[in-house]
Amino acid sequence: MKWSRRFAGSCRRSGLVSDKRWWDEFWTREASAGPALEGDGETWHDLVWKVGLEFWHDLFEKQAPGRKMLECGCGSARVSQHMARRGYRCTLLDYSERALATGRKAFDASSLEGEFVIGDINHLCFPDGGFDIVFSGGVLEFFDDILRPIGEMARVLKPGGVFAANMVPRKVSIQTIADLERTMAYSCRALFQRRFGDVFRRVRYVPAYYPVNSLDLQDYVDCCKRAGLDPVVGLVTSPFPELALPHLGKKLYARVMKGLLPQWRKFNLSQSRWTQIWGITYTVYGIKR
């Protein structure tokens, strides 16, 4: 298999306008994304980030040969912020200027050092073998051809370096059931507020208009292996769904989640059949041969 090796002095490329525009609009809406959380957090969202950040930090500390990290499709750059605070030298790449501006703002707000690069994950503008870690979070599910971006990310890794990614797939999980609860809650609210046009609106964790692929975990694992990573671990993670709850309910839910943190961490590492059905997100990581 041949990877694209067209390097350029500048990472700016054309031909991606439509997708890039989608992400620019997305990051314009999300511009208020704050800095990465370091505490326990009070909500489902805070705790999901907390467990994720701990997972990546632990993995990189144990497996990476050094602390030079590249985050591809960095968006809010939360993972890089977390790692930069712990002494990692982070390069952050995204093809959306809006996304990079969001990440840079968060780095500046915490006085963190990072290198921000506009570029396309399909044609990384870095030489082979320069990074100890290459990470992408919430990016690969938006590609139909995942072999190309995974191949590029593996190419810029040093031998022994760690590739890590997570994805939010369109999969049947506990979130599918929770989405029924969310749909009912939003319908009731719409009815109460006399927004009759919204009463029958279906609420989905991965909205229908998100251009997400239909690949399963094994497809990601297979592509990582084809890209020269070995061993590769694939996990179905995240046992707690997002729910539509009133303020007090949100707090109580977060308290329950906090109380179950040890079981949550165990769930994320389990490769059993039931966690694969129940879990909401995919996590893959592998070592460059």
Residues lying near ligand SAM in the complex (CB under 6 A): 23, 73-76, 78, 94-96, 99, 120-122, 137-139, 142
Q: Which is nearer to ligand SAM, 9 or 262 (CB)?
A: 9
Q: Which is nearer to ligand SAM, 96 or 238 (CB)?
A: 96
**CB 276, CB 171: distance < 8 Å:** no
**CB 102, CB 30: distance < 8 Å:** yes
**Residue 248 Cβ vs ligand SAM, minimum distance, rounded to whole Å:** 28
Q: Which is nearer to ligand SAM, 275 or 280 (CB)?
A: 280
**Residue 117 Cβ vs ligand SAM, minimum distance, rounded to whole Å:** 10
**Residue 187 Cβ vs ligand SAM, minimum distance, rounded to whole Å:** 27
Q: Which is nearer to ligand SAM, 143 or 275 (CB)?
A: 143
**Residue 43 Cβ vs ligand SAM, minimum distance, rounded to whole Å:** 17
DSSP result, the chain: --------SS---SS-HHHHHHHHHHHHHTTT--PPP-S--SSHHHHHHHHHHHHHHHHHHHH-SSSEEEEES-TT-HHHHHHHTTT-EEEEEES-HHHHHHHHHHHHHTT---EEEE--TTS--S-TT-EEEEEEES-GGG-S--HHHHHHHHHTEEEEEEEEEEE--S--SHHHHHHHHHHHHHHHHHHHTT-GGGTTPPP-SS-TTS------HHHHHHHHHHTTEEEEEEEEE--PPP----HHHHHHHHHHHHHTHHHHHHHHH---HHHHHH--EEEEEEEE-
**Residue 65 Cβ vs ligand SAM, minimum distance, rounded to whole Å:** 23
**Residue 21 Cβ vs ligand SAM, minimum distance, rounded to whole Å:** 10
**Residue 103 Cβ vs ligand SAM, minimum distance, rounded to whole Å:** 8
Q: Which is nearer to ligand SAM, 99 or 215 (CB)?
A: 99
Question: At a CB cut-off of 8 Å and minimum separation 6, what does 58 contact?
Answer: none
Q: Which is nearer to ligand SAM, 65 or 210 (CB)?
A: 210
Q: Which is nearer to ligand SAM, 79 or 229 (CB)?
A: 79
